[in-house]
Amino acid sequence: MTALANLLAFLGLVVTLLIVWRQSWRGRLRLFALQSLLLAALAAVIGLFTGKAGLLAVAGIVVALKAWLIPRVLSRIAAGTPPRPAIPGRSSGMALLVAGALVVVAYVVMLPVTRAGDLPTEGGIPLAFAIALIGLLVTVTGRDALGHTLGFLMLENGIFGLALLATYGLPGIVEAGVFLDVLAIVLLMEGVVLEIRREHDSIEVDRLRELRG
Amino acid sequence: MSATVTAAAGAALGLVAAAAGVAGVLGVEWSLRVPWLVPPGGLELTLDPLGGFFLALVGTTAVPASIHAGGQRGERGGAAFLAFVAAMAAVPLAGNAITFLLAWELMSVASYVLVLGARDSRESLSAAWVYFVMTHAGLACLLAAMLLLGSWTDSLRFADWSAAPSALSPGAGTLAFVLLALGFGAKAGVIPLHVWLPMAHPAAPSHVSALMSGAMVKLGIYGLLRAGLDWLGPGPAWWGVAVMLAGTASALVGVLYALVDRDLKRVLAFSTIENVGIVLVAVGACMVFRASGLEALAVLSLAAGLYHALNHAAFKALLFLGAGAVVRAAGTRNLESMGGLVRRMPWTAAAFLTGSVAIAALPPLNGFVSEWLTFQALLQMLEIPRPELNLVFALGIAGLALTGGLAVACFVRAFGIVFLALPRSDQAAAAREAGIAPRAAMGLLAAACVALGLAPTLVLPALAGVASAVLGTPALDAPADWLTVTVSGRFGGLSTVAVAAALGGALLLPLAALALARAPGRRPGETWGCGRILQTARMEYTGTAFAHPFQRIFDFFYRPVKRLDIDVHAESRFFVRRLAYENRPRPIFEEWLYRPALEALHRAAHRARALQSGSANVYLLYIVAALLVMLVLA
Amino acid sequence: MILVLLLAVPLVTAAVLVRARGRAAAVAHGLGVVFTLGAAAAVAAAVARDDSVTAVDGLLRADALSAWMVALIDLVAALAGAEAPRQAPLGAGGRFYPLLHLFTFTMLLAVTTDDVGLMWVAIEGTTLASVFLVNFERSRAALEASYKYLLICSVGVAIAFVGTVLVYFTDVQRFGHEPHALRWTTLLRLAPELGPRVLELAFVFLLVGYGTKAGLAPMHTWLPDAHSEAPAPVSALMSGVLLGVGLYAVLRFKAVVDLATGQAFGSRLLVGLGLASLAVAAAFLWSPRNYKRMLAYSSVEHLGVACLGIAFGGPWGLGGALLHLANHALAKSVLFLLSGRIRAAYGSADIGAVSGLVAVMPFTGRAFVVAMLALMGLPPFGLFVSEVMVFRAGFEEGWGLAAATGLGLLVVAFAGLLRAAHRMAYGAPAASTAVRREAWQASLPIVAALALLVATGVAWPPGLAAALGHAVAALAP
Amino acid sequence: MIAEVAGALAQLVVVAGGAPLLVGVLRWLKARLVGRRGPRPWQPYADLAKLLRKEAVVSTTTSWIFRFTPYLLVATTLVAALVVPVLVSRPALGFAGNIILLMYLFMLGTFFLALAGLDAGSAFGGMGSSREVAVAALAEPTVVVAVLALALRAGTIDLGGVVERFAGDPLLVANPAHLLAFAAFFIVMMAETGRLPVDNPATHLELTMIHEAMVLEYSGRYLALVEWASAMKLFLFLTLLANLFFPWGVPAGPGPLALATAALAIAAKLAVLTAALALIETSVAKLRLFRVPELLAGSFALALLSVMSVFLLR
């Protein structure tokens, strides 16, 4: 189980870094779906090894929600924006470097956690946290509403992974609430962003800078 | 609320307060606890001699101010006025910090509302702003100090503080004293915390100015006395030195500005700063004497200071009420538009003259008595065997003397320009005497000035009793017989009654002699002016001109902004069309202290606005940064 | 049972209002407001009698602290509910009223659940329920505000989730999968034995996360935008109690973490955030330009004070903080409601556009000035007392320097607020604004709220001191 | 009791009657010193008598203050005459106050005189008042500090006490502090009584006048009273100088013989001081008005030095 969980977490991190690297939103969405699938697999693995049937259900929900429904919603948000941002000279090298640094940060920050327990899955905890941090990075550097939302969802995924690896799943009512929340956020985001597009003809957040001071 | 009701209620409140206060001065003890009121801690009122003295001061000032208010039809703010009086009465009674702070701040709020009175003018708005911000900053200092004391003594009751001053370390005591002194000093108008005073007093209606200047400012002194003498016990001598130097500076700066200002009520406001300074000199002397173990002299100084506080309440309230009547009649506060009012308003003039003589510390009125007492205390400084303290005292004495001289000049100017010679404006020429209520109020206060002047033999023992109660020394053996006040054995004696009687007799003497000699009568004529005819008001000496020698002499202090605009005729430069001359003293405390501070604050605030840049990404970055910083710190 | 009722009332009202139109909607809204208030009173009474009430197998649990928050939420909700019809047409359908009650429901749920995870869900739910309320006016600015609100609060609360997971982790590590491992009651019981290092880490995440919701600097950035663009009743609810709910979460967690790590750790972080909030608020309040934003920054200021109170701790600090939250809720909601009226009359939220308020709108202007004075922390209003309590705790618990700094920053904020109040309330009214007559009924709730503020400032209503004491005791049984 | 009253009366008579003579002698000496013959020393009596017989012209712009002031002025100086130890060290009103009272009594006169100067509304009056109060204000600290120097060394501020203390211990007089204080007080005396170089009592050039400008509007008996009062003020100041700093021959109580010797002693001392004053007045030029503060600051420095020497050298 340790090896599987670690592998899945590691793959998740790789996919996350790939998201940072990719610039086309379609590619990013596909990678995000892949990340979510990996998480679902992680949930299933942990569920199988620990005998928690609930986690299998969770894995199913993740597949349905994060690998299928949410990417669809996101692509609705992104529809109409050019697939490749038309800003020349923009490279993701810097972002990748920062993301790499964040992995180190994640290891350092999670030291107390990995030291505290003797979990078989503890090796993956920093990786999951790194996914969350990189999600934050994507949010902070996002140039349009899509980037923000995607980053937020990666953050969510990372935390979800963290929860899986550290605690083998939260109580059911919490899990259910979390999924509902995520769905609601994405849907609300869609509503707001569509309105923004109507108002501004774009979902670039640079235009949303009227409220200051 | 109608003016009459306000007046009646205010006067009743004042009378009760005065009676209770006098009882307290005479040693009646009283206390009250209401646990459910004033959370947390509960309302606690206690009457002791010091509190009683200031309570009496508030009450006796409130009575004439209320009567005066009764004559002002259409004046707003009756409820605020009553709240103001009540809060002021509560301050000296407060027995714990919460009660005190509540009463103190209520007093500020009520007076702020009253200052706001004529709120349609920008001027009064900015006055109210400055006043309220200063007073609030002062409150912050008080709050900090009182809470510190509370945490050190584990109690917010004043009685516990007084009981445990020696438990504090010197550093702690000093910190608390400095904070308290800042807070109370701001209320008392000590330099350089005085800036609100000359703005707020003119903006408020006159009966309110009278109360603010007569009573509220005194409560700052009350706090300082409580802090320096009672709560924090005998402090080191330098506390007293600091108070004394601050007092000297306040007295001089106050009178210097009073001397040149052209706004009658601002003149009075600056003079309040001066008189607070005089009181503080006495208070500081008391603290130094006490630190040097000279308790009898400490009692004398404190009694002198209290006496001056009381006197100032009487004559400054009188002057403000008089100024109110004058301003109402002349429609302006500008000295240069007044003049000749002594014939249009004889009663007001007489009252104002009484107040001026009293405040200029001229015998036999009350200002003289307290200043004389202060001098007596200071002059005995040789008892302190430390040359550096002696030097401070010498400077204090000289400062006080100079202040006295300048105050004479200031009030010659104030009375002379306002009331004498020809009116300088049409409205001043058509001025009408104040109504019966203001006259009654002024009459009361003038009588108080005379009585306090003539009866030191009655007042001083009571004040010495208060002082010895505060200082915890046994009461002095009667420092006065019925005729003469004697201080410190045979060091000095004063009998204003005798002086007044002698003056009266000496006034009658030449009158009688001339009448007996059947001296020729007098005939009216025009003022001589090198042969010119037709005296007009424009030929009179103005207030500015009167102050000019002082402005020249104290040029280094006033740093005037001089401007001379001469508009000449197009065809010849010898024909002057218009000539504008300005010679305005520069308010150095505002310009060198407050403006830079405010500008720095403004700049900092402006820079900080960049934080809210509008970019969601930056906002998110803040969150990440906060997270990382806290992770690092953790 | 009573808790279920408390939560059911707003939920049912919201559901009914989705469908109801016209008079029926008005009746439903009114009944919803009244019943919610009644249920809150019942909860308070029950808690006063039994110390705590539970429902649904302990998933819902109200102790004195919860009851305190419930009372606050429902008071402000009632104020906002009474004012809402002036701002949004009642009975014309639309999402406003359902969401308003849903918003109340989520806040009530957040403070009455015993489950940390469910509380997280509820707090996230407050954001979701209020996003469209913020965007009610559908202007460009409102849209921008709601976008930032949604984004920043979601990210913030997600960070709080990391903390929640970590808390759960250490709990599970130590005691295995206990059925109610994420309950406050359990956490408080087990806390002394939990791993302090992990809890410290968790607390940082929780603080940043819920601090975002509580509007603590530097996570406050969504707050001025959202509060200024939302309709007045929503601003009142958000500023008055939503921030308080965020702080409530921090307060609960701090009590747990303190048991494991000692007070100093959490207090240090909270003092930092509190002072940062005060500093930011002071800077922005020094010369405000928009009065709704000004009120929003003042919320940052007051939450900073409450945060300091929590950091200082002790009965004075915690009691002061809770009382401060209550006082602030009353004063701020009154001000936001009045600001709605002012904006309706002047057509602008710029301070420069408003002058002569007292002359133009005699009641609103006067009430505005009075409430501003209350907000500035002057007696006889309650904020004075609660500030004194908080700072007393600061000096008593050895945070003298922090308390002194806080006092200084409060003075700066005071100066700015006073100047803005002067500019708006006095001066010559703009020519275009006519003197308005105001119906006295509309002023009743506001007068009542101000009277309550005077009561907390001068003479506490019977039971208040006890309620406060119990609420503080609930944190450290 | 009778002796007391007699003593008081004698003192009043000496001051009130002697003051014009003092002024006359001073003028006569000054004239002689510059080589003129000058008026007879008793000319002031004649002047006063003439003024008293003349009708007074009172400006129509003035108020009761203008007419009241001369009487008050005389009254304050007469009261002062009962406070200052002229013939005896403890005069009739000696108990009622000390030198502080005395200074403030003079200040009372100055106050009203300055008001009277403003009352007529002419520029001269205002100018005179303004300058007069300026000089008086600046002289005040010197007086008090000089008195302080005396009080410190005598252990009392009571005038009689000071006189008795110094009379009892002549060595106290021969002390730098004493002489410094004397010099300071002398300068103040010149300023307070309007002598050269501060003010020129003989000038009638309007722009340089101080005291004379202020009383310009007075005529007839009012002028007589004002002149008489200022003569008494000069007399009293010189007496103070004489008896405080050189308190020899000042008896403690009244008695015919004591009074007579005291009168002789004071006459002699006044003669010396008057001569000195005349000498100074003829040898210096009047200062520009705005140089006067420097002079007074100098005198203040002297007084302060005197005080400091007391507590530094103890």
The tokens for A35 are 């990340």
Q: Answer whether C207 sits within 8 Å of B630, measured CB to CB.
A: yes
Any chain B CB within 8 A of the CB of D59?
yes
Any chain A CB within 8 A of the CB of C201?
yes
Query: Domain for residue A189, yes or no?
Result: yes
Residues of B in contact with C365 (CB under 8 A): none
Any chain B CB within 8 A of the CB of A136?
yes
The tokens for B226 are 């409580």
Query: Domain for residue A56, yes or no?
Result: yes
Mean pLDDT calculated for residue range B298-322: 94
Q: Is C455 exposed, middle or buried (0-12, 13-18, 19+ CB in 10 A)?
A: middle
Any chain B CB within 8 A of the CB of A210?
yes
Q: How many CB pairs under 8 A join B and C?
A: 160
Alpha-carbon distances, residue B229 vs B29, B103, B235, C159, C243 (angstroms): 19, 21, 8, 55, 46
Residues of A in contact with C148 (CB under 8 A): 208, 211
Residues of C in contact with B102 (CB under 8 A): 379-380, 384, 458
CB B265 within 8 A of CB B320: yes
Nearest residue on chain A to B606, alpha-carbon basis: A213
Nearest residue on chain A to C116, alpha-carbon basis: A174
Shared domain check, B244 and B214: no
Return phi, psi of residue B47, to 5°: -110, 120
Residues of B in contact with C151 (CB under 8 A): 616, 620
Residues of C in contact with A113 (CB under 8 A): 166, 169, 198, 201
Selecting from A112, A148, A191 the residue whose C-beta is nearest the C-beta of C201 gives: A112
Residue where the block lists tokens 């491992």: C181
Residues of A in contact with C169 (CB under 8 A): 113, 116-117, 166-167
Which of helix, strand or coil describes residue B524? strand
Any chain B CB within 8 A of the CB of C461?
no
Q: Which pLDDT band holds residue B250 (cuts at 50, 70, 90)? A: very high
CB B375 within 8 A of CB B400: yes
Does residue B166 surpass a pLDDT of 70? no
In 3-state terms chain D splits into helix, strand, coil percentages (rounded to 5) of 75, 0, 25
Q: Answer whether C155 sits within 8 Å of A180, measured CB to CB.
A: no
Mean pLDDT calculated for residue range B115-119: 72
Give the domain extent around C461.
276-477
Q: Answer whether C379 sits within 8 Å of B102, measured CB to CB.
A: yes
Any chain C CB within 8 A of the CB of A177?
yes
Any chain B CB within 8 A of the CB of A212?
yes
The residue among D97, D291, D107, D304 whose CA lies nearest residue B398 is D304
CA atoms within 13 A on the CB side of D70: 23
Alpha-carbon distances, residue B282 vs B287, B304, B487 (angstroms): 9, 7, 15
Q: Which range is least confidently modeled, A171-180, B258-267, B272-281, B525-534?
A: B525-534
How many residues are recorded in chain B? 634
CB B305 within 8 A of CB B374: yes
Return phi, psi of residue A204, to 5°: -65, 135
Query: Domain for residue C206, yes or no?
Result: no
Quick: pLDDT tens for B593-629. 899 999 999 999 899 888 888 888 889 999 999 998 9
Q: Answer whether B379 sits within 8 Å of D129, measured CB to CB.
A: no
Residues of A in contact with C172 (CB under 8 A): 167-168
* Residue C409 confidence (pLDDT): 95
Nearest residue on chain C to A128, alpha-carbon basis: C162
Selecting from D119, D121, D131 the residue whose C-beta is nearest the C-beta of B535 gives: D121
CA atoms within 13 A on the CB side of D135: 30
Shared domain check, B397 and B364: yes
CA–chain centroid gap for B510, Å, is 39
Which of helix, strand or coil describes residue D201? coil
Residues of B in contact with A140 (CB under 8 A): 617, 620-621, 624
Any chain C CB within 8 A of the CB of A198?
no
Is the link from the previous residue into B40 a cis peptide, with omega within 30 of 0? yes
The tokens for B462 are 């009571």
**Distance between CA atoms of C250 and C203, rounded to whole angstroms?**
9
C408-417: b (≥16 Cβ within 10 Å) or e? bbbbbbbbbb
* Residue C237 confidence (pLDDT): 94
CB C409 within 8 A of CB C279: yes
Query: Domain for residue A90, yes or no?
Result: no
Q: Is A82 exposed, middle or buried (0-12, 13-18, 19+ CB in 10 A)?
A: exposed
The dihedral through the CA atoms of B358, B362, B367, B369 has a sign that is negative
Question: For every one of its 477 residues, what pLDDT tens digit does chain C have, with 9 covering 90 and above?
Answer: 789 999 999 999 999 998 888 888 889 999 999 999 999 999 999 998 888 899 888 889 999 999 999 999 999 999 999 988 888 888 777 889 999 999 999 999 999 999 999 999 999 999 999 998 998 888 888 988 999 999 999 999 999 999 999 998 888 888 777 777 888 888 888 888 888 888 999 999 999 999 999 999 899 999 999 999 999 999 999 999 999 999 999 999 999 999 888 888 889 999 999 999 999 999 999 988 899 999 999 999 999 999 999 999 888 899 999 999 999 999 999 999 999 999 888 888 899 888 888 888 888 988 999 999 999 999 889 999 999 999 999 998 889 899 999 999 999 999 999 999 998 988 877 766 666 677 777 788 999 999 999 999 888 888 888 889 999 988 875
Q: Which pLDDT band holds residue D178 (cuts at 50, 70, 90)? A: confident
The tokens for C252 are 């609960």
* Residue D150 confidence (pLDDT): 82
Task: Inspect the structure and tell me whether chains A and D have 3 or more CB pairs less than 8 Å apart.
Answer: no
Cβ count near D12 (within 10 Å): 18
Return phi, psi of residue B205, to 5°: -60, 155
Residues of D in contact with B412 (CB under 8 A): 111, 114-115, 118, 129, 133
**Distance between CA atoms of C445 and D27, rounded to whole angstroms?**
89
Any chain B CB within 8 A of the CB of D212?
no
Any chain A CB within 8 A of the CB of C286?
no
Q: Answer whether B623 sits within 8 Å of C212, measured CB to CB.
A: yes
C308-322: b (≥16 Cβ within 10 Å) or e? bbbbbbbbbbbbbbb
* Residue B313 confidence (pLDDT): 94
Task: Inspect the structure and tell me whether chains D and C have 3 or more CB pairs less than 8 Å apart.
Answer: no
CB B593 within 8 A of CB B192: yes
Residue of higher predicted confidence among B578 and B287: B287
Query: Domain for residue B520, yes or no?
Result: no
Residues of B in contact with C415 (CB under 8 A): 129, 133, 136
Query: Domain for residue B462, yes or no?
Result: yes
Mean pLDDT calculated for residue range A90-112: 85
* Residue B239 confidence (pLDDT): 92
Shared domain check, B175 and B239: no
Shared domain check, B68 and B24: yes
| Helices A70-78 and A172-200, packing angle to 10 deg | 10
Average pLDDT of chain B?
Answer: 88
* Residue D294 confidence (pLDDT): 87
Query: Domain for residue B5, yes or no?
Result: yes
**Distance between CA atoms of D139 and D142, rounded to whole angstroms?**
6
Q: Answer whether C384 sits within 8 Å of B105, measured CB to CB.
A: yes
* Structural domain count, chain B: 4
Q: Answer whether D56 sits within 8 Å of B553, measured CB to CB.
A: no
CB B287 within 8 A of CB B375: no
CB C253 within 8 A of CB C65: no
Q: Answer whether D119 sits within 8 Å of B420, measured CB to CB.
A: yes
Residue-by-residue DSSP string for B393-456: HHHHHHHHHHHHHHHHHHHHHHHHHHHSSS-SSHHHHT-----HHHHHHHHHHHHHHHHHHH-H
* Residue D106 confidence (pLDDT): 92
Query: Domain for residue C318, yes or no?
Result: yes
Question: Nearest-CA distance from A94 to chain C in Å?
Answer: 23
Shared domain check, B67 and B123: yes
Give the domain extent around D46.
2-312
Which of helix, strand or coil describes residue B44? strand
* Structural domain count, chain A: 1
Shared domain check, B241 and B226: no
Question: Nearest-CA distance from A14 to chain C in Å?
Answer: 21
Does residue D206 surpass a pLDDT of 80? no
Q: Which residues contact D185 (CB under 8 A, 6 or more apart)?
A: D142, D143, D146, D240, D241, D244, D245, D303
Q: Chain B neighbours among A 147-166 (CB < 8 Å)?
A: 148
The dihedral through the CA atoms of D166, D168, D174, D177 has a sign that is negative
Alpha-carbon distances, residue B237 vs B243, B291, B392, C357, D12 (angstroms): 10, 5, 11, 53, 47
Q: Answer whether C128 sits within 8 Å of A170, measured CB to CB.
A: no
**Distance between CA atoms of B335 and B317, rounded to whole angstroms?**
19
Give the domain extent around B567.
555-586
Residues of B in contact with A209 (CB under 8 A): 613-615
**Distance between CA atoms of D259 and D253, rounded to whole angstroms?**
9
Question: Nearest-CA distance from B127 to chain C in Å?
Answer: 11
* Structural domain count, chain C: 1
Mean pLDDT calculated for residue range B562-583: 78
Nearest residue on chain B to D310, alpha-carbon basis: B382
Query: Domain for residue C142, yes or no?
Result: no
Query: Domain for residue B512, yes or no?
Result: no
The dihedral through the CA atoms of A142, A148, A149, A150 has a sign that is positive
Any chain B CB within 8 A of the CB of C208?
yes
Shared domain check, B119 and B216: yes
The residue among B289, B288, B219 whose CA lies nearest residue B57 is B219
Residues of A in contact with C198 (CB under 8 A): 112-113, 116
Question: Nearest-CA distance from C107 to chain B in Å?
Answer: 23
Selecting from B144, B604, B630 the residue whose C-beta is nearest the C-beta of C204 gives: B630
Return phi, psi of residue C289, to 5°: -115, -25
CB C244 within 8 A of CB C65: no
Residues of B with CB under 8 A from a CB of A: 609, 612-617, 620-621, 624, 628, 631
* Structural domain count, chain D: 1
Percent of chain B's residues with pLDDT above 90: 47
Query: Domain for residue C202, yes or no?
Result: no
**Residue C52 falls in which region: left (phi positive, over 0), alpha (psi -120 to 50) or beta:** beta
**Distance between CA atoms of B424 and B339, rounded to whole angstroms?**
6
Q: Chain A neighbours among C 47-76 (CB < 8 Å)?
A: 59
Q: Name the DSSP letter for residue B493.
A: E
Q: Which pLDDT band holds residue B101 (cuts at 50, 70, 90)? A: very high
Q: Which residues contact A47 (CB under 8 A, 6 or more apart)?
A: A53, A54, A55, A56, A58, A59, A169
CB B291 within 8 A of CB B236: yes
Selecting from C283, C391, C414 the residue whose C-beta is nearest the C-beta of B136 gives: C414
For residue C55, what is the enclosing H or E element? strand C53-55
Subunits adjacent to chain A (3 or more Cβ pairs under 8 Å)? B, C
The tokens for B507 are 């006034």
**Distance between CA atoms of C239 and C298, rounded to whole angstroms?**
9
The tokens for B633 are 């710190």
CB A180 within 8 A of CB A156: no
The tokens for D37 are 């013959």
Query: Domain for residue A30, yes or no?
Result: yes
Does residue A56 surpass a pLDDT of 80? yes
Query: Domain for residue B628, yes or no?
Result: yes
CA atoms within 13 A on the CB side of B141: 23
Which of helix, strand or coil describes residue B567? strand
Selecting from B613, B614, B617 the residue whose C-beta is nearest the C-beta of A140 gives: B617
